[in-house]
A = this chain, B = another copy of it.
Amino acid sequence: MSPSVALQLSFETLGWDEQGLWFLDQTKLPQEQTLFRPQGLPDLIDAIQRMVVRGAPALGCAAAYGLVYACTLVIDHQDMRLSLETTKELAEALRRSRPTAVNLGVGLDHVLRAAQDMSAESWQQPQSVIAALQAAAEGFHQDDRNRCQALGEQGFALLQDGQRILTHCNAGALATGGIGTALAPIHLAASRGMALEVYADETRPLRQGARLTAWEMVQSGIPVHVLPDSAAGSLLASGQIDVVFVGSDRIAANGDVANKIGTYPLAVLAARHQVPFYVLAPATTVDATCAEGNLIPIEQRSATELLGADGANGALAHHPAFDVTPADLVTGIVLEDAVYQPGSKSWAQKVARLRA
């Protein structure tokens, strides 16, 4: 971990204030910067499904706070009693909201462990239980902030003044409880007066690059150019990009990287044009039990999401959410503690430690 002061951005993705749980509503960005506050448990679950909050680390924090919020609803209700059993049931309801998001479950389990640690007497005083769960959720959120900051410092050491960075999708503050993963070094560099330029792939079909990464860079005063995903090839060929930074949804033990669809072609083109290609993620993203990338299941998204209202009637859709970049195209995997070269001895040792 870096000894430096943690960076605070001009916005946060989610939190808990005197009025309770809130999310920055990402379905409204970039046009409107409004806070979403859940009106009951079904409303909270609906918000997670509609991607009011998204991004694996952010979902973990949202679920942790969400479980505390659900418990407060119980004690506010005259006829109901808060118990460990009820808390577990609420956690399961939240867990089902997005079944593929591993981090969501990690956040819930963190708060559930705090609930399980409470004595029988404590459950007689539900407000003290809520306070303990609240502390657990805040601790989880703080851990995420620390992970982002540490990752960011590792990535920052790779950057030089004046560089132009290509990124894909949104692996930024909006996807975490802190300053992001792939974008964390860029926020740090900007805060330290470094002049950088970011090129953000639009990222079809949900346009997280055009909507979220671009907004996030503008908030930090960083020049950002949005490009069609298909324009990254000629951009890399032109020599206008110094380095590629992307996030990851899962990293296999051999260093193969699953990430948002379109990451693999970027890696191939970066290698062809000798542009370094880095993957930035917390160590929790490394699936030490998964030997290689072709064992990672790839979610297929709906035809409607891709074809929309003006797709041709009768056309099919090939619409995978992720692709896998082979380890040999990855210059480095940036974790909280170091930058690892896939295939190196230090990477093998790191994976062994994570498996243990």
Residue numbers of A with Cβ under 8 A of B are: 29-31, 199-205, 207, 210-211, 214-215, 217-218, 223-235, 237, 261-262, 264-265, 268-269, 272, 298, 306-320, 323-324
Contacts and interface: CB of A to CB of B under 8 A. Distances in A.
A3 B309 CA distance: 42
Contact of A228 (B200, B313, B319): B319
Nearest to A323: B234
B315 A224 contact: yes
B262 A319 contact: no
A264 B233 contact: yes
A187 to B, nearest CB: 16
Contact of A214 (B207, B233, B311, B324): B311
Contact of A202 (B204, B215, B234): B204
A30 B312 contact: yes
Contacts of A314: 214, 218, 224
B224 A262 contact: no
Nearest to A224: B315
A320 B231 contact: yes
A316 B214 CA distance: 9
B199 A234 contact: no
Chain A: interface secondary structure?
mixed
Contacts of A262: 228-231, 233
Given A210-B311, A225-B315, A235-B318, 4 more contacts: A210-B306, A214-B311, A217-B312, A226-B317
A198 to B, nearest CB: 10
15 contacts: A30-B310, A30-B312, A202-B204, A202-B205, A204-B230, A205-B228, A210-B311, A214-B312, A214-B314, A224-B315, A227-B306, A228-B306, A228-B319, A230-B262, A231-B323
Contact of A265 (B200, B230, B298, B318): B230
Contacts of A211: 310-312
B229 A228 contact: yes
Given A210-B315, A224-B315, A316-B224, A231 B261 contact: yes
A351 to B, nearest CB: 24
A269 to B, nearest CB: 6
Contacts of A320: 231, 234
Nearest to A310: B211
A207 B226 CA distance: 17
Most buried by B among A272, A313, A317, A319: A317
B232 A313 contact: no
Given A230-B265, A234-B264, A316 B223 contact: yes
A22 to B, nearest CB: 21
A323 B269 CA distance: 14
Q: Which of A31, A214, A223 has the most CB of B within 10 A?
A: A214
Given A30-B311, A211-B312, A214-B312, A227 B265 contact: no
Contact of A226 (B224, B264, B307): B307
Contacts of A202: 204-205, 306
